[in-house]
């Protein structure tokens, strides 16, 4: 969706809202009605006194014993708390993260980000600025060159700089059979695209799975991502969310028959402008 579309939507909503707004007479009548309801709700005596109770004063003669008592209670609570914490620490087995939560395999390091930025920029120059996206999947490199790139990258909530940025997304599917502790990497895709570009990869590109994704750089540096992937034939799973750059996230977990799937995704913003 481009900026022009967004403006049109906002304009339509503004016109609609203006037409639906209650007029001053209506609001005045409503205010009177609410005041009557408040009158019925508020107890008569509370109308003539402070609503917030004054700070209670403590007789000086009581103050010292009160402080001592409070300190005693606090000390008891502290000792009990430490005891419980020690007990819990002793009794509770230390939970080791499952191998699948070790997300290093989905990480994109700084060197890779830099290389991808260079590769995308140079290929884009080669294709006269018409490279919409590129992907490496199932051992193949897929390029999409489009003179009328789908999805114009513009939005009133993004800066001009954001419009010229590119993003890279890594999607990794892992799976294990029931009763098996070991996870295996089943499928991996690396995509580089312009910000706000719709990417679609499927068997016609030589990929074993259908994958579509769209990444949208937000003004605070995070990235909104829509991902749709087929874990099994005819079964498309979707994810929509906001991700922090370079932080792998588990975006989907599915169980089908005796196979358990997990999908991890990492998104990173490429540092240099794509010319």
Partner 1 sequence: MDPTADTDVADEELVRRYQATGSRPHLDALLERHIGRVRSLAYGMVLNHSDADDLTQEVFLRVTKSLAQFKGDSKFSTWLYRVTVNTSTRFLERRGKLAAEIDRRAPEPLERETQGPECRMLSGETAQAVADALATLTPALRAAMVLVVLDGVSVDEAAEVESCTASTIYWRIHEGRKILRQRLAGYLTP
Interface residues with partner 1 (CB under 8 A) are: 1, 5-6, 8-27, 30-31, 33-35, 37-38, 41-42, 46-52, 155, 157, 216, 218-220, 222, 224, 240-242
Minimum distance, C-beta of residue 86 to partner 1, in the bound complex (Å): 35
Contact 171, 227 (CB under 8 A): yes
Phi, psi for 155 (deg, rounded to 5): -160, 140
Nearer to partner 1, 112 or 200 (CB): 200
Tokens standing for 120? Answer: 């995308």
Pairing mode of beta strands 140-145, 131-137: antiparallel
Minimum distance, C-beta of residue 140 to partner 1, in the bound complex (Å): 31
Tokens standing for 233? Answer: 């034939």
Nearer to partner 1, 12 or 74 (CB): 12
Minimum distance, C-beta of residue 64 to partner 1, in the bound complex (Å): 30
- Give Dmax over CA atoms of the chain in angstroms: 88
Nearer to partner 1, 12 or 177 (CB): 12
Minimum distance, C-beta of residue 85 to partner 1, in the bound complex (Å): 30
Minimum distance, C-beta of residue 212 to partner 1, in the bound complex (Å): 15
For the four alpha carbons of 248, 254, 258 and 259, in that order, the dihedral sign comes to negative
Displacement of CA 128 from its chain's centroid (Å): 34
Displacement of CA 252 from its chain's centroid (Å): 13
Nearer to partner 1, 175 or 251 (CB): 251
Nearer to partner 1, 151 or 202 (CB): 151
């Amino acid at each position: 969706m481009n900026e022009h579309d967004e403006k049109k939507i906002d304009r339509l909503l503004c016109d609609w809202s203006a037409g639906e707004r209650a007029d001053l007479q209506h609001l005045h009548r409503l205010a009177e009605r609410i005041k009557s309801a408040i009158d019925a709700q508020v107890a008569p005596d509370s109308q003539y006194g402070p609503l917030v109770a004054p700070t209670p004063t403590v007789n000086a003669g009581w103050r010292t014993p009160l402080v001592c008592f409070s300190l005693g209670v606090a000390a008891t609570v502290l000792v009990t708390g430490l005891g419980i914490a020690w007990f819990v620490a002793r009794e509770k087995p230390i939970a080791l993260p499952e191998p699948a939560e070790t997300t290093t395999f989905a990480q994109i390091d700084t060197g890779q980000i830099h290389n991808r930025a260079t590769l995308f920029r140079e290929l884009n120059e080669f294709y006269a600025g018409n490279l919409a996206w590129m992907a490496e999947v199932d051992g193949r490199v897929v390029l999409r060159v489009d003179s009328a790139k789908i999805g114009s990258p513009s939005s009133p909530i993004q800066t001009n700089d954001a419009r010229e940025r590119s993003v890279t997304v890594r999607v990794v599917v892992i799976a294990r059979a029931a009763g098996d502790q070991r996870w295996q990497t089943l499928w991996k895709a690396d995509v580089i695209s312009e910000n706000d570009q719709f990417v679609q990869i499927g068997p016609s590109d030589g990929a074993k799975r259908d994958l579509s994704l769209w990444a949208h750089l937000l003004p605070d540096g995070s990235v909104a991502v829509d991902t749709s992937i087929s874990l099994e034939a005819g079964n498309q799973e979707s994810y929509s969310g906001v991700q922090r750059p370079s932080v792998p996230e588990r975006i989907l977990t599915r169980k089908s028959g005796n196979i358990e799937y997990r999908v991890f995704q990492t998104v990173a913003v490429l540092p240099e402008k794509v010319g």
